[in-house]
Chains A and B, each alone.
Chain A
């Protein structure tokens, strides 16, 4: 969707909700509410745009589906680096992005940021019960490893100047890399004034494998025996075909 059209849509949305004008000091929408992973998928940028009644601060938080993650630490065993300890965190967001119009610590106090989990510092992961007892400091290292690895994969990021205002209209783009897993995402837009959240809006977003990729994935997971047989048959046929083709030539 191009920019003028996006702005027209905002106006339409604002007009539609005129009756709720007092409560509705924030309107936000996205260029797309679902992403399809097809064979040419190399990640996706989604435009989030909206309008506010008075220029103020905007913080957008995008969270992916929660996954059970294992963090492993390598140690040296007779000269070889191998996984030694592991800690399981049952509810780690697969994706976590924060976009704002200026640095978060300028927008709101630590208390407010903590309350709304604005910034990965405030993300809290519970530890799986099966985890061996570790000292707080050690556990912290495992927790930090999640952030470091997720940031490296561009699945966690915070950009404090990516929300742009044009008077009462704002826009930002959210980047989903190839590794963004499928699932239900939430995009929450917070409107803050004088450091307080005065309005928020939640927009759901779906990432799904689609088309051929979907069919392959579903077959592999739902009918694994059939999938295995098909995989073998394809290989047998291709090998035979190649041998025949090359004999003729």
Chain B
């Protein structure tokens, strides 16, 4: 059954869209990421214009994150104070990103920037996750692994310190604001929640306990992707609400199952699996960038403004 999407201006099979939403939603619930890092490239692969894919996916992530955060909230896995600090940075970052997105689109380079951003971040983060979790898995098998109670990072020397009870941290607000800002920037340009960057940053940079990072990142993602949806609607009219609703119908259900399954798996195994998926998407994008396209020329409606 084909359905016409009024903003994307293409017709797609409704079950394909629902299925993609469900599959990616499952992974997003499982790993506590928005799922955008998979969905945005997938939407582009099935013919959705990249700018529409990014903006629409941001809209869909709002829904996936809300239902995800509720599940984590019930288990008391959200650091609200840290979340709000991250939101402050995120709102600034996504606003800057949205205007950058508009500019790049008019320059005709938005597709390239989207692809390159994915390759760069997915490549680096995927490799780090894989290496780190494999190391942990191997070490825990030997049984000689002991985590330090408290580690000192460079971030601890900065001013404007704040106490985060839930995360058992007393750190400067500058690093979380910067992390939030950067993730907001990525949300606007790539149509991702940014969990794949934020979660490692929270663990390795801010030193937050693993138990609260997923819930807290989802909390921040809601506000940032809502801001992206709003700004892209105003700046580029690229949010396809019909497409977003179908994707989220599949995704919210998938995310619920994912969140349940995540409790059954161990953290390092989960991270190794996510690392592999991230690297696979990255490889596909590299392939598309490096191999000569069948037609070097492309046409598009000029953006007049």
Is B truly associated with A?
A: yes
> Which residues of A are in contact with B by a Cβ distance under 8 Å?
37-43, 67-76, 79-83, 86, 88, 90, 141-142, 145-146, 148-150, 152, 178-179, 181, 209, 213-214, 216-217, 220-221, 224-225, 227-232, 234-236, 238-244, 246-247
Residues of B within 8 A of A43 (CB): 11
Query: With a CB–CB cut-off of 8 A, which chain A residues contact B2?
Result: 40, 42
Cβ-defined partner of A238 (8 Å) among B63, B68, B229? B63
Asked if residues B295 and A178 are in contact (CB atoms below 8 Å), the reply is no
The answer to whether A181 and B9 have CB atoms under 8 Å apart is yes
Question: CB-CB < 8 A to B10: which residues of A?
Answer: 178-179
User: Would B302 and A40 count as touching, CB distance under 8 A?
Assistant: no
Enumerate B207-241 residues with CB–CB distance to A below 8 Å: 222, 226, 229-234, 237, 239, 241
- Judge whether A74 and B296 touch: CB under 8 Å: yes
- A229-B230, A234-B241, A243-B70 as given contacts; A69 in contact with B300, CB under 8 Å: yes
Contacts A37-B4, A68-B302, A69-B300 given; indicate if A42 touches B109 (C-beta within 8 A). Answer: no
Most chain B CB within 10 A, of A150, A227, A238, is at A238
Known A-B contacts A178-B11, A227-B233; the reply to A242 vs B4 at CB < 8 A is no
Given A80-B289, A88-B302, A243-B71, A234 contacting B245 (CB threshold 8 A): yes
Say whether A149 contacts B3, CB under 8 Å. no
The complex places the Cα of A88 from the Cα of B302 at a distance, in Å, of 8
A40 with B3: in contact, given A83-B109, A239-B66 (CB under 8 Å)? yes
* A81–B295 CA distance with the chains assembled, in angstroms: 11
User: Does B94 reach chain A (CB closer than 8 Å)?
Assistant: no
Q: With A236-B63, A236-B66 known to touch, is A242 a contact of B253 (CB < 8 Å)?
A: yes
Cβ B239 vs Cβ A220 within 8 A: yes
A74's nearest neighbour on chain B, judged by CB, is: B296
* Given the contacts A82-B109, A243-B67, A39 and B3 also touching, CB distance less than 8 Å: yes
Interface residues in B276-305 by Cβ distance below 8 A to A read 289-293, 295-302, 304
**How far does the alpha carbon of A65 sit from the alpha carbon of B7 in the complex, in Å?**
19
B62 touches A72 (CB 8 A): no
B297 near A145: Cβ-Cβ < 8 Å: yes
Q: In chain A, what residue has the closest Cβ to B3? A: A39
B6 surroundings in chain A (CB, below 8 A): 209, 213-214, 216-217, 220
> What residues on A are CB-neighbors of B230 within 8 Å?
225, 228-229, 231-232
Q: How far is the CB of A175 from chain B (nearest CB, A)?
A: 15
> Known interface pairs A149-B295, A232-B59. Does A79 touch B66 (Cβ–Cβ under 8 Å)?
no
Whole-angstrom distance between the Cβ of B15 and the nearest chain A Cβ: 15
B248 and A235 contact, CB distance less than 8 A: yes
Chain A residue with minimal CB distance to B245?
A: A234
Answer whether residue B65 sits at the interface, using C-beta atoms and an 8 A cutoff. yes
Chain B residues near A234 (CB-CB < 8 A) = 63, 241, 244-245
Contacts of A74 in B (CB 8 A): 293, 296-298
Would B290 and A80 count as touching, CB distance under 8 A?
yes
Given A227-B241, A232-B229, A235-B59: A41 in contact with B4 (beta carbons within 8 A): yes
Report whether A217 and B7 are in contact in the complex, using a CB–CB cutoff of 8 Å. yes
Task: Determine if B256 is an interface residue (Cβ-Cβ < 8 Å).
Answer: yes
* CB<8 Å pairs between A and B, sample of 18: A40-B2, A42-B2, A74-B296, A80-B112, A81-B291, A81-B292, A83-B108, A88-B302, A213-B4, A220-B237, A228-B239, A231-B229, A232-B230, A236-B62, A238-B63, A239-B248, A240-B70, A244-B70
Complex Cα–Cα for A220 and B255 (A): 28
Contacts of A224 in B (CB 8 A): 233-234, 237
A69 adjacent to B3 (CB under 8 Å): no
Residue B30 at the A interface, CB < 8 A? no
Asked whether, in the complex, the Cβ of A81 is within 8 Å of the Cβ of B66, the reply is no
Using A220-B7, A239-B248 as known contacts, say yes or no to A145 and B295 having CB atoms under 8 A apart.
Answer: yes
Bound-state CA distance A242–B65 (Å) is 11
A150 and B298 CA atoms in complex are apart in Å by 10
B56-93: contact bitstring with A at CB < 8 Å (1 yes, 0 no)? 00011011111110110010000000000000000000
Give the chain B neighbours of A244 by CB distance below 8 A: 70
Q: How far is the CA of A91 from the CA of B138 in the complex (A)?
A: 64
A36 to B62, CA, bound (A): 32
Find out whether the CB atom of A70 lies under 8 angstroms from the CB atom of B299. yes
Question: Is B252 in contact with A242, judged by CB distance below 8 angstroms?
Answer: yes
Complex CA–CA separation, A228 to B59 (angstroms):
9
Flag whether B249 is at the interface (Cβ < 8 A). Answer: yes
Chain B 1-24, CB-CB to A under 8 Å as 1, else 0, gives 011101101110000000000000
Cβ contacts under 8 Å, B248 to chain A: 235, 238-239
Proximity string of chain B (142-181) to chain A, C-beta cutoff 8 Å, 1 when within and 0 when not: 0000000000000000000000000000000000000000
A146 to B6, CA, bound (A): 24
Q: Let me know if A231 and B59 touch, CB within 8 A.
A: yes
Bound Cα distance A63, B70 (Å): 53
Most B Cβ at <10 Å: residue of A41, A43, A231, A247: A231
